[in-house]
């Protein structure tokens, strides 16, 4: 079987870069794109910061008030509210351009995508490198967006590679250089390994991917479970057989609100959840669609994000089904998180949408 040639394209500091394109004077300033809460003032968090702001220590997820303290010495710092409609427009135009270069194109999110380019490059990594540069040039010409690209034999390595030389990077990892590329890197560079897993591995004396390769599969599955342990074991060896799958942008309807107070009370959260479900259901009905997946998102007091979802047996447009499943997810999440769960923002989303042609689901006749 021929070696695959997979690209991961990642837009650099996407939201902030969009703001720099809209207003070029921003390119010389620290720019923070912010998700402001409904509480007013500086309540909220940083969505994305440009590289000038990052030099001051500003990071995504940081409270806006903290970021302003970090940038206290920068009189020209800009704090801009998110404009998702504009960012989606730039993303759609850029993704449309990128997809022209792929044998198989997989949309992942507003700012990233995977491409299988094996056939058109004839599995030649030199040709793939030239194609990667062509993609970068083409996107910058069409939408002015700069991106970083990783190219390797699989998805996982390409994702790591796209982050290797940001911004405006192009990193090629040929099959014979996988080990030399991966081994010096910190374990946290492996997609899916977060700080908690990294800390646990560090306590086991494992800090680099080279260290991780020495770990026994049995030990990893014992510590992290069969699925996660096997993934970690294979990832350290650069093994990832998952193919690039044709996927269009996922469409969803959602609403998230900042609560009047941080709370872990089921009754308080349920009351807010009911109003959010009503808003989301109104959007579903307005657009004459049905949904098959219900999700609930929690932004906790420490600004960490958690989400839970349920897939229904069949598509529905029922407000009752939306409310019932959202309440179930709320109760299960509070139960699993324990008494320390404190929620700052609460959201509801529906996805796997389909057009409501006729009356395909009897529950659509009923209202709660």
Q: From the centroid of its chain, how far is CA 40? A: 26
In the chain, alpha helices (H)? 14-22, 51-54, 64-70, 84-99, 118-121, 125-143, 155-162, 178-182, 195-203, 209-213, 217-224, 226-236, 266-286, 319-337
Q: Could you give the CA distance from residue 266 to residue 275 in angstroms, rounded to a whole number?
A: 14
Q: Could you give the CA distance from residue 106 to residue 116 in angstroms, rounded to a whole number?
A: 9
Active site members: 112
In 191-297, alpha helices (H)? 195-203, 209-213, 217-224, 226-236, 266-286
DSSP 3-state percent helix, strand, coil across the chain (nearest 5): 45, 25, 30
User: Are 78 and 44 in contact, with CB atoms under 8 Å apart?
Assistant: no
């Amino acid at each position: 079987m021929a070696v695959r040639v997979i690209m991961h394209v990642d837009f650099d500091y996407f939201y902030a870069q969009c703001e720099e394109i809209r207003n070029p004077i921003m390119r010389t300033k620290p720019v923070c794109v912010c998700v402001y809460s409904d509480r007013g003032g500086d309540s909220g968090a940083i969505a994305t910061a440009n590289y000038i702001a990052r030099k001051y220590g500003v990071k995504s997820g940081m409270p806006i008030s903290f970021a302003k303290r970090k940038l206290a010495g920068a009189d020209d710092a800009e704090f801009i509210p998110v404009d998702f409609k504009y960012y989606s427009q730039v993303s759609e135009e850029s993704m449309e351009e990128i997809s022209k270069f792929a044998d198989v194109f997989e949309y992942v999110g507003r700012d990233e995508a995977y491409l299988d380019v094996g056939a058109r490059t004839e599995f030649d990594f030199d040709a793939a490198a030239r194609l990667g540069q062509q993609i970068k040039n083409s996107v910058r010409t069409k939408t002015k967006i700069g991106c970083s690209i990783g190219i390797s034999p699989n998805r996982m390595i390409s994702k790591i590679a796209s982050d290797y030389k940001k911004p405006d990077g192009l990193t090629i990892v040929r099959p014979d250089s996988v080990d030399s590329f991966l081994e010096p890197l910190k374990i946290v560079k492996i997609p899916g390994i977060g700080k908690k897993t990294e800390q646990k591995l560090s306590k086991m004396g494992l800090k680099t991917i080279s260290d991780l390769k020495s770990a026994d599969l049995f030990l990893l599955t014992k510590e992290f479970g069969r699925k996660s342990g096997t993934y970690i074991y294979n990832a350290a060896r650069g093994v990832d057989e998952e193919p690039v799958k044709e996927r269009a942008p996922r469409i969803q309807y959602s609403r998230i609100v900042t609560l009047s107070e941080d709370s872990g009370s089921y009754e308080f959260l349920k009351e807010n959840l009911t109003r959010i479900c009503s808003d989301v259901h109104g959007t579903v009905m307005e657009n004459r669609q049905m949904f098959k997946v219900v999700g609930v998102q929690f932004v906790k007091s420490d600004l960490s994000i958690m989400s839970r979802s349920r897939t229904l047996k069949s598509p529905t447009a029922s407000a009752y089904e939306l409310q019932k499943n959202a309440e179930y997810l709320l109760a299960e999440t509070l139960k699993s998180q324990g008494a320390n769960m404190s929620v700052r923002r609460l959201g509801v989303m529906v996805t796997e949408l389909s057009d409501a042609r006729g009356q395909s689901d009897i529950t659509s006749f009923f209202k709660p």
